[in-house]
Amino acid sequence: ETVMTQSPTSLSTSIGERVTLNCKASQSVGIDVDWFQQTPGQSPKLLIYGASNRHTGVPDRFTGSGFGRDFTLTISNMEAEDLAVYYCLQYGSNPWTFGGGTKLELK
């Protein structure tokens, strides 16, 4: 199976900062990566599909990029509501697999 490794596992950030989250696949998955946001007590929400396509209603401060094995989710101007755990998911090969997540916290 394709193992997705997210880094860092947690990140302390400030409001207004630019934040970069990483996801690395153990083998190439093309652009077959989604990104999800999960706030405490809530179900995950889709942010990005196909590595770089923003889902309907997602603010443009969220940007996804990458191809092959290396993927990035960037939040350009951190807001308080962005404090959450972020997960990548690869669907390039079965079984689909999630990364372990990155938790964004306030400094």
Partner 1 sequence: EVQILETGGGLVKPGGSLRLSCATSGFNFNDYLMNWVRQAPGKGLEWVGQIRNKNYNYATYYAESLEGRVTISRDDSKSSVYLQVSSLRAEDTAIYYCTRSYYYYDGTYYYVMDAWGQGVSVTVSS
Binding residues for partner 1, per CB under 8 A?
1, 31-32, 34, 36, 38, 43-46, 49-50, 53, 55, 85, 87, 89, 91, 94-101
C-beta of 32 vs 82, nearer to partner 1 = 32
Task: Compute CA distances 26 → 5, 30, 96, whole Å.
Answer: 8, 12, 13
CB of 95 to partner 1, least distance (A): 5
Rounded Cα distance between 56 and 70, Å, is: 24
C-beta of 47 vs 78, nearer to partner 1 = 47
Rounded Cα distance between 23 and 35, Å, is: 10
CB of 19 to partner 1, least distance (A): 19
C-beta of 22 vs 91, nearer to partner 1 = 91
Identify any residues that bridge with 65 across adjacent strands, giving them in sequence order: 72
C-beta of 17 vs 72, nearer to partner 1 = 72
Residues 6+ apart with CB under 8 A from 49: 34, 55
